[in-house]
Every structure is written in C-alpha cells, then in structure tokens.
Amino acid sequence: MNDTTPLKPKKSVALSGVLAGNTALCTVGRTGNDLHYRGYDILEIAEKCEFEEIAFLLIYGKLPSSAELAGYKARLKALRGLPAAVRTVLEALPAAAHPMDVLRTGVSALGCILPEKDDHLAAGAREIADRLIASLGSMLTYWYHFSHSGERIHTETGDDSIGAHFLHLLHRRPPPADWVRAMHTSLILYAEHEFNASTFAARVIAGTGSDLYSAIAGAIGALRGPKHGGANETALVIQQRYEGADQAEADIRARVANKEVIIGFGHPVYTIADPRNEVIKEVARRLARAAGDLRRFEIADRIEAVMRETKNMFANLDWFSAVAYNMMGIPTEMFTPLFVIARTTGWAAHVIEQRADGKIIRPAANYIGPENLKFVPIDRRT
C-alpha cells in the first residue's frame, strides 16, 4: 500500500476518514502502522531524542541544534515556577478532584494571570506553549502534595528535563537515569497524533479567534473523556486483576468469548498495528527487568498475545504505557495528565497552524428530526 492509498473508514468512529483540514505536523496510519512528526518516523526518534527536542520540533518547526537545545532546556527550566495566584487556586482544589480537572483549572488560572496578547502572534503563542509544558508538571504535583499532605513544595528544580522534573517533584527525590530515559520516550510517543478528538477541539477553538489557553483547556476537556484519554489508566486496572499470566489468559479468553470489550487494544486510525506499541513495550520491559519484577509486564504481554490470537486486535500505546508508568511509581490517576504534558506540544503547534489558516471550522449537520410541524400557541398546548 502506498502513502496516498485511503484506508477504509472505521464504522465505530464518527467522521472516520473525512478530511477536515490541512496540516504539516503529523501523519498517522497512512500505511496502516506508521506515524511521522513533521516528516520524521516515530521509530527513528522515540528512543534517540530527548522530549525537549521533539517539543522544539513541533512548536518551532525544526529539530534543534545542540546549542539551540541547551538554550531551550534552560528556558524551560526557568519557567517551572508557578505564580502565587495559581498556587492559591490549586490549594483550593480538594484531594478528591480528578487530576485532569486540576490541569484544566491550572491552565485557566494561568491564562487569567498571564493572558495571551490580543494580537495572537505565533511568537507569543510559542512562549505560552513553553510555559505550559514547563509548568504543567509543577501544577499537578503542587496540588497533589498540598491536597494530600498539606505540603507546599518548591517546584523549581535543577533537573535537566521535563520528565525528570515531574518525577523529582512527585517522589521528592531525583529519579534514576533509566526512569528519565523512559519519560523522554513515553512523552515523545504521546506528543502528537494529527486530528484526534482533543487536537481537533483545540483547532475548532483556535478557529474562532480565541486565545491559546482556551484552546488548551478545551483540549484537556476533550482528553478527559474516557473514549479518548484514560485508556492507560483502565489498562492498568485490567492488568491488576491478575496474580499471574496464566490467570490473566484464562480470564481474558472468557471475557472475549462473552464479547466483552478489552480497553487498550485497537485504534480509530491504525489498521495493522500501533507503531508506538513496539517502542513503549521495550521501555516497559527494561523498567521491569531493572526492578527485578517482570510479573506485571508478563501479564500485559500474555494478554496482548491472547487478544492478537482471539480477536486479531493489536495493543495500542496505552497498554504498555500503563506498565511503564506503574513501574516508575506514578499514581494511576496521573497517567492521562502525563498525556496532557506531552500533547500540549502538539496542541499548541496545531493552534498556531490553524491561526495561520485563518478559517473558522463550521461543518454541516445531517438533520434527522421532524419536518414541517404546525406551531401551537402556549395557551392551546396540552
């Protein structure tokens, strides 16, 4: 199959296969199992690059030189702090709040305190994007520690990367090198994915002329829905049902026979495989081996094999991301917020691109309601 051959739309997805705009940012599944960021194959960059390189690629349009990367990382380090008013807002949120709601609220609060200029120039949008990807982890962990233990943590660390910074704040100690590399790879894999639901939501908001913060908050709201985000959280819940791989296989076979849907398999666009899966699976395997505990990985691996055999369904990125994040001690409810930290790079790049396009997005609807009803005044209605 060549790169221009249209794939068969999936009936379970509304508007599947319908072209809704142009982008130079990403291609997904043109051959059934490929992903490229600005022309770069995900399989070539996911394990070789740092996340900040890919953030720069998406937001600024090219891979950075060594000097540019060093300067960019220094800039991001300087943006990790939170304004006092944002900390006050985060402190008002209860421990029972969903972390996705915390990030949505934090973005809105930051947008009130440091609003985007009305000119909406690309340079200003890129500055805001940098501040967001640098400080979203600070927002999440500041709220987490304050709401759960009353501790007001200092969010500015000397860690060299966004992933290391997040892990340091979460666990209150510098993370090991293999965890930092795992975070680089996982964040790269989640960074961009063409016109998915949250990205399209961000582009719709951008098309109205709204500000970047509103577009990112709207995208978080779309990712909050379980049909889009949250699959990595559900994947871990499934995996944690079982004490071992044999028990997992027997139960999954029974559930498949009973026509139960198993989250973490299949994809709205990919038809052959999710190319990100082979990368994150190896990340999960390495973390499990380093920890000397392969049980969770082996359960996930066995379920993957059963789903391929019984349903011819492939694991998507979320399936082994759950294993990897769990091995790094990340609370399950923070899995999708990590998705947000990564995907904010893609969202921001799409907002900038949509603004350059200059069009409002206003599709038509197929009306299926009643026709030509006779109006009845209110005093004659029964």
Burial (CB < 10 A; 0-12, 13-18, 19+), residue 199, is buried
- Cβ atoms 146, 174 nearer than 8 A: no
Residues paired with residue 27 on neighbouring β-strands, in sequence order? 36
Catalytic site residue from 267, 274, 301, 350: 267
Helix (H, G, I), strand (E, B) or coil at 20: coil
User: Which residues are CB-neighbours of 132 under 8 A, at least 6 positions away?
Assistant: 107, 110, 216, 344, 348
Helix or strand (DSSP H, E) at 281: helix 275-291
Burial (CB < 10 A; 0-12, 13-18, 19+), residue 166, is buried
Distance CA 94, CA 49 (A): 37
Backbone angles phi, psi at 27, to 5 degrees: -125, 140
User: Does residue 98 carry a catalytic annotation?
Assistant: no
User: Does residue 267 carry a catalytic annotation?
Assistant: yes
Nearest to 300 by CA among 285, 312, 311, 279: 285
Whats the size of the chain, residue-wise? 382
CA distances from 240 to 170, 234, 266, 296, 332 (A): 22, 10, 20, 8, 11
Catalytic site residue from 101, 228, 251, 357: 228
Nearest to 48 by CA among 184, 179, 187, 192: 184
CA distances from 12 to 15, 16, 206, 290, 309 (A): 9, 8, 27, 40, 22
Distance CA 250, CA 27 (A): 38
Burial (CB < 10 A; 0-12, 13-18, 19+), residue 221, is middle
User: Does residue 193 carry a catalytic annotation?
Assistant: no
Catalytic site residue from 159, 211, 274, 318: 318
Residues paired with residue 40 on neighbouring β-strands, in sequence order? 37
What amino acid positions are annotated as catalytic residues? 228, 267, 318
